Amino acid sequence: MFGMQAALAIAKARGNIVICSDYSNLQALPSDVFPAFVEVLRRANPRLERAALVMPRKGTSLRHQMEALLRQATHPNRRLCADSAEARAWLSSLLNREEQVRLDQFLRERALVSPVVPLRSTFSNLGRPASYPPTSRQGQGVKPQR
């Protein structure tokens, strides 16, 4: 499902793409998901300018899995980021003002999400029109009550 949604978002975007993904609540990838995830990343390679993957703060097996994923996906401009500030720093130089605002909105929203399932992925294509929602709702947790 994630791969289909990622491919659809990339197909809708014009030109090269910049991606920010938040995996900070993900613990590990099931081994049967790994090859499919590598394929999702590889399919984006021809149009990818840069990607930031926000990871859990604490060291987990996920970081090792994601490092292996990035090696197999073979694109030098993908980076694992320890937090939203690092992701912002990695991506901002390529973004116009509107895209920077959308990136900040995405990262703020993700900071408020509590996971309701152990496996959660969010794909955000910063190159899409502003009228398109900045994040995908699939598998997403519930925002805390205020």
Q: What is the pLDDT of residues 106-131, one digit of tens each?
A: 999 887 775 433 333 344 444 433 33
- Average pLDDT of the residues in 61-88: 93
Q: What is the DSSP letter of 25?
A: T
pLDDT of residue 18: 95
Q: How many whole angstroms from its chain centre is CA 76?
A: 16
In degrees and rounded to multiples of 5, residue 3 shows phi and psi of: -60, -40
Query: For residue 80, what are the β-bridge partners?
Result: 53
114: helix, coil or strand? strand
Model's pTM, two decimal places?
0.73
The token duo for 91 is: 């991506």
Distance CA 126, CA 98 (A): 9
CA distance 124 to 109: 12
**Bridge partners, 20 (sequence order):** 52, 124
